[in-house]
Chain A
Amino acid sequence: MTAAPPTTNVRLCALTDLVPERGSVALVDGTQVALVRTHDDDVHAISNLDPYSGAQVIARGLVGTRGGRPTIISPMFKQVFDLRTGECLDPVGREPVSLRTWPAAVVDGQVVLEATGDDGVAPSPVGGP
């Protein structure tokens, strides 16, 4: 790695727009990104598309922990995903499929997606502040 890719931080919403321990959905360049605010005010960004049902529903799942790892559970067929890595921790009898994640942070009370410009989610939010 010779140089860090150019990053443009995309501001999506205020932290207070997110309900603790619940997901919301942000639309980033046509892609639905689930934003999850955990109890410690950490924010995670993970794909909203549930690979098992094909529906855009991940953000509506229950948030919790499994063996200490922060998780979200698909509300459709209850697969469990690690919020930090997108890894499928419990495929409920199916082949495990991981979800894409994005680095997210809270800057000055705003939720920021650290889009890297080369990963398919361009830094051009449809709406937002």
Chain B
Amino acid sequence: MPEDTAPTASPQHLVIVGGGMVARRLVDALRERDGQGRWAITLIGEEPRAPYDRVALTSYFAGRDPEDLALGGQDLWDDPLVTLLRGVRVESIDRTMRRVTTSTGASLDYDALVLATGSFAAVPPVPGNDLRGAFVYRTIDDVADLRAYVESRREELDRPVSGAVVGGGLLGLEAAGALRALDVDTTVVEFAPRLMPLQVDEGGGEGLARLIEGLGVTVRTSTATSTVMGERGAVCGMSFSEGPDLDVDVVIFAVGVRPRDELARQAGLEIGERGGVVVDDACATEDPAIWAIGEVANIGGRCLGLVAPGYTMAEIVADRLLGGGGTFPGADLSTKLKLLGVDVASFGDAFAQEPGGLEVVVSDPVAGVYKKLVMSDDARTLRGGILVGDASAYAALRPMVGRELGGDPAAYLLPEGSAPAPTGDLPEETTVCSCNNVTAGRIRGSVSEEGCTDLAGVKACTRAGTSCGSCLPLVKKIVAAELTKSGVEVSTALCEHFGLSRAELFDVVRVQGLTTFSEIIERHGTGRGCDICKPVIGSILASLGTGHILEGERAALQDTNDFVMANLQKDGSYSVVPRIPGGEVTPEGLIAIGQVAKDFGLYTKITGGQRVDLFGARIDQLPSIWARLVDAGFESGHAYGKSLRTVKSCVGSTWCRFGVQDSVGLAIDLELRYRGLRSPHKIKLGVSGCARECAEARSKDVGVIATDNGWNVYVGGNGGFTPRHARLLAEDLDTETLVRTVDRFLMYYVRTADRLQRTAPWIEDHEGGLDVIRAVVLEDSLGIADDLDAAMATHVGTYRDEWAETLADPDKLARFASFVNAPDVVDDSLAYVGERGQARPATPEERSSGSVIIAGTTLEVRS
């Protein structure tokens, strides 16, 4: 253990009551700064899981695992100075003894106690609020129960389920999104005259209602719920103070939250008028050993229901516990959300409450956009704003609050791309990432002083952009500007020959219909290409279905593997891999492969992808080997290409006792569908017939796992240098939807990824990450789905086996001659020795000592 982390004396004990996001941040902040181990920490949470991202709760319905909501890694909980008690409640606090008692009957003494108990969801006192089918929306368990109820109700009733959300604020619209994701016919009921009354003005509320109704959600504003009606103990309808009744099967109450201050009350701490533990601007209560942070803390006379100020409070308490003097700077109540796929943002003095404010409004009901900026009376300084329908300007505008905007404010409200957004000129002290309280200066410093050279490094170093991610575009711009300033060229250029990135190049080639390298480099590049741009263009042309990869000029673009359609090995020989779709092969097929291997003296091995690899083929032998394999019904396995490799499968329901779907059949269909698809990197798929996952589908770029109801699809997994587990993209798809989903995912990746970028980093680097890709693939949010579908249909329809075509073309076959001036002479530079009954390349020592057994032409090897 390094000296500075060794405990100086026996540490003091900090007990944190509550296991939410803010509690976790406190543990994080304290462990980060407390190098001397002054504090041992016990975190007591009543939920059965470690702190998770409650803000992203709704994404659970869009197909994410609960585990994806985990905050950060496990490392924190493995720290010997940190104890996490899950599923445990604190029952009482004895302030005199400085001791808490828990639901398990244990007593823990503390030197400092932090209340981070958060809030509970409020349920209005309407009759029927306790019927089955009435829910709140607060925890993973709440949403899991909601989902289970909706699904079982749908089955029971054997018709579509309808539901209502009481409350049209942030939480209510989140909940409505969850219901829509569950395919529930949804109505939002709001007491106020508009949606999101605390964040947006009348115009914004109207725009929002229009957008949300466009998504199939009914909106009833100025409506008070009077009763939830029941039938046999379950919700069946609602009645209102005005207007007609509504038949519903499920109701979610999302009218707001109330601080969970009962422990503090019982311990005799001061409670605010409308609840919450009263704290000063250091988050301290009247008891010097007790602090309160997050939603339970009543700071400056109010409780704050947002995570960013909670994080700030956690940082302050961590600082204070180590003897610092941090104080609460006041809350930034800015919010940006994507509700039901609709962007909503509100920041600064959004309602123009400060005197003399000028409002600049752009409202386009046709495009579904409402944007407002509140400016100072001289129209120079930005005070706040509201963005509905398109919040792309949020990241750039929010940090400008209180500063001169420099330019026509209206320019900032025009669609993205038509106005220069503020970039790297932000003052040093401006907060860029409000979740983690990171300033522009800190981000610049991480580049100029700490040597970070890319966005990933800056994120790791400063934590900017690691929570909600809404500031990432701005962080990226600042980093790029700073790198440029320090002389580092930030370029997306492919190589010295092309200034375009791969994705840009793909687009111009596609849109301009270019088909030859000469045309492409003449129009868009310089020189004659290299080992970087040539294969990229070869791959782009192949992805666009422009014919055989060795046709005409295209031959010169292929690296040696693609050129001879085999894999170069260390001694200059090649390996040959016939395609075995889904890993299913007949005995006759196996015998044919075995016979070829035997006749050509090839070393034979089963690959990791359920195929047979034949090693040691000379370049001049490849055509005759393939003539035999093609005759036996095999085709190219594309083991050499940046293309689809294998679709691994388990045995599936045909033979397996546990299989719930035909994984082999699907794997074969998928492999035949995507065979030959050229992509930025090699891609592998897997299909498992049940959750036992024998095909290890979650370590593949696309992994499909059978469920009782269909298929779950995971994306972005891979082995390789940086192994990744795939993440859930969608659940319970029927086969047709699954295939369409995979089509779009792969084609979108093929079009937009960087050269040699695997799916996992592509997803990570994609703006908005997996959520945005999911929207593109499942909801066609970019309007390109038809185009992607058509591109895949073209690929599937025009596929032809490269080896069969090559064998039929004497010009192409001529290229496999060993020597251009002596086509019949065999290359004698290859040398082999026997090992375990097969041939392997001789080592340099074996070559020089003359113990080489086989040289040049092949000999039969038997041990």
Contact = CB atoms under 8 A, between A and B. Distances in A.
Interface of A: 12-13, 17-22, 24-28, 32, 35, 38-39, 53-57, 60-68, 70-71, 73, 75-76, 78, 80, 125-129
Contacts of B825: 27, 126-127
Contact of B829 (A32, A63, A73, A125): A32
A68 B526 CA distance: 9
Contact of B534 (A35, A62, A75): A62
A127 B527 contact: no
Contacts of A78: 531
A67 B496 contact: yes
A60 B568 contact: yes
Nearest to A125: B821
Nearest to B538: A62
A59 B494 CA distance: 25
Given A21-B556, A57-B568, A65-B497, A26 B819 contact: yes
A56 B829 contact: yes
A56 B496 contact: no
Nearest to A49: B829
A30 B216 CA distance: 77
B595 interface: no
B822 A27 contact: yes
Interface in B814-841: 814-815, 818-825, 827, 829
B555 interface: yes
Given A19-B555, A65-B527, A127-B825, A55 B572 contact: yes
19 contacts: A17-B820, A21-B528, A22-B555, A24-B815, A27-B819, A55-B570, A55-B571, A56-B827, A60-B564, A61-B560, A64-B528, A64-B530, A65-B528, A66-B496, A68-B527, A75-B559, A75-B561, A126-B825, A127-B822
Contact of A128 (B528, B531, B619, B821): B821
Given A19-B815, A55-B829, A56-B572, A64 B822 contact: no
A18 B820 contact: yes
Interface residues of B, number: 37
Given A66-B496, A73-B530, A126-B821, 10 more contacts: A21-B556, A27-B825, A55-B570, A56-B572, A57-B568, A60-B560, A62-B531, A64-B529, A70-B528, A76-B572
Given A56-B827, A127-B825, A65 B560 contact: no
**Chain B CB within 10 A, most for which of A18, A57, A67, A78:** A57
Contacts of B527: 64-66, 68
A54 B844 CA distance: 9
A66 B497 CA distance: 9
Contacts of B829: 32, 55-56
B168 interface: no
Given A55-B829, A67-B496, A26 B572 contact: no
B167 to A, nearest CB: 60
A26 B821 contact: yes
**Chain B CB within 10 A, most for which of A25, A53, A125:** A25
Contacts of B820: 12-13, 17-18, 24-26, 35
B177 interface: no
Nearest to B572: A55
Contacts, number: 115
Contacts of A25: 818-820
A17 B823 CA distance: 12
A127 B819 contact: yes
**Chain A CB within 10 A, most for which of B530, B534, B814:** B530
A119 B17 CA distance: 85
Contact of B556 (A20, A35, A73, A76): A20
B819 A22 contact: no
A64 B531 contact: yes
Query: 8 closest Cβ contacts across the A-B interface?
Result: A127-B822, A21-B556, A55-B572, A64-B530, A75-B560, A65-B527, A60-B560, A24-B820
Contact of A71 (B530, B553, B556, B815): B530
Interface in B788-832: 814-815, 818-825, 827, 829
B563 interface: yes
Contacts of B531: 61-62, 64, 73, 78, 80
A65 B819 contact: no
A66 to B, nearest CB: 6
A78 to B, nearest CB: 6
B824 A127 contact: yes
Nearest to B550: A19
B555 A127 contact: no
B701 to A, nearest CB: 25
B569 to A, nearest CB: 9
B535 interface: yes
A22 B563 contact: yes
A60 B818 CA distance: 11
A26 B821 CA distance: 5
Contacts of B572: 53, 55-57, 76
Contacts of B819: 25-27, 32, 126-127
B528 A38 contact: yes
Contacts of A57: 560, 568, 572
Nearest to A19: B555
Nearest to A72: B531
A39 B516 CA distance: 13
A97 to B, nearest CB: 16
**Chain B CB within 10 A, most for which of A19, A54, A57, A75:** A19
A54 B848 CA distance: 13
A104 to B, nearest CB: 12
A47 to B, nearest CB: 12
B564 to A, nearest CB: 8
Nearest to B535: A62
B860 to A, nearest CB: 24
Contact of A53 (B559, B563, B570, B823): B570
A46 B527 CA distance: 21
Nearest to B822: A127
Contacts of A12: 820-821
Interface in B251-305: none
A67 B528 CA distance: 10
B822 A128 contact: yes
**Chain A CB within 10 A, most for which of B531, B556, B564, B827:** B531
Nearest to A26: B821
**Chain A CB within 10 A, most for which of B559, B560, B815:** B560
A60 B528 contact: no
A57 B571 CA distance: 9
Given A57-B560, A62-B559, A63-B556, A127 B821 contact: yes
Contacts of B555: 19, 22
Contacts of B823: 127
B76 to A, nearest CB: 38
Nearest to B564: A60
A84 to B, nearest CB: 14
A128 B825 CA distance: 11
Contacts of B561: 75
B570 to A, nearest CB: 7
A111 to B, nearest CB: 8
Interface in B567-610: 568, 570-572
A39 B570 contact: no
A12 B822 CA distance: 9
A127 to B, nearest CB: 3
Given A22-B563, A24-B820, A65 B815 contact: no
A68 B534 CA distance: 16
Nearest to B828: A30
A70 B527 CA distance: 9
A37 B580 CA distance: 38
B307 to A, nearest CB: 46
Interface in B727-769: none
Nearest to B824: A127
Nearest to A40: B528
A27 to B, nearest CB: 4
B281 to A, nearest CB: 56
A46 B672 CA distance: 42
A92 B555 CA distance: 25
